[in-house]
Amino acid sequence: MMLFSYCQLDMNKNEIIQMLDRWNFWNKPIDTGVPRNYYLKKIFQYISSPEIIALVGIRRAGKSTILQQILSQLLSLGVHSKNTLFIKLLC
C-alpha cells in the first residue's frame, strides 16, 4: 500500500511562473547562504549519475540551501539558467 500526500494549488499559469521565477536563478542571482563545501563536494560526486539523488534530512536543516548552492555551482560551470528548475513543495 502506498500513501501519497499532495498539495492542491489553485493558481493560474502566470501566478505559478511568477512563483517559480522567485525561487530560480532565471533572471537574477539568488543568495545561497554560507557555502557548505564538504557536502557540496560529496554531492557533486554523484551529480552526473543517471540515478535519482535524494537529499533527506530534518526540517530546516538546509536541504533547500544546499540544492540552491548546487544550482549556483552548475551555473558557474556553464549550465544555462533556463536549463535549471528549483521547486519548493511545501504543504
- Residues 28-55 have pLDDT tens digits of 887 889 999 999 999 999 988 898 888 8
Please count the other Cβ atoms lying within 10 Å of the Cβ belonging to residue 71. Answer: 19
Q: Could you give the angle at which helices 37-44 and 63-76 cross, rounded to 10 degrees?
A: 70
Please count the other Cβ atoms lying within 10 Å of the Cβ belonging to residue 62. Answer: 16
The pTM assigned to this predicted structure is 0.71
- Portion of the chain with pLDDT greater than 90, in percent: 21
Q: Compute, in degrees rounded to 10, the torsion defined by CA atoms 18, 20, 22, 27.
A: -90
pLDDT the model gives residue 40 = 92
Q: Label residues 73-86 b or e (16+ Cβ within 10 Å = b).
A: bbbeeeeeeeeeee
